[in-house]
Amino acid sequence: MRRLALLIAVILPALTACTPSHCEVDGVQHRVGESYTCADGCNICECGLNGVSSTLMFCATDTGGLNDTADTGAE
């Protein structure tokens, strides 16, 4: 029983030391399990044990509607 306890005491810290606790993206650290908006502004990224994963949605840059910042000449 002592050997088992000693084995667990030695192996468990070694296993947890190899587990990442964060992902670093563009100088910003995110905790494992944390979701955030990706750099493209429309997909969702998630920090996981194997690195960052993201949704793969198409990000339209032109919505086809009126541009609120366009100069229409009206005042």
What is the secondary structure of 20-60 as a DSSP string?
A: --EEEETTEEEETT-EEE-TTSSSEEEEETTEEEE------
Residue-wise pLDDT tens digits, 35-55: 999 999 999 999 999 999 999
Residue ranges in the chain modelled with pLDDT below 70: 1, 4-18, 62-75
Pairing of strands 51-54, 44-48: antiparallel
**Per-residue model confidence (pLDDT) at position 4:** 60
**Per-residue model confidence (pLDDT) at position 60:** 85
Query: Structure pTM?
Result: 0.55
**Per-residue model confidence (pLDDT) at position 50:** 92
**Per-residue model confidence (pLDDT) at position 22:** 92
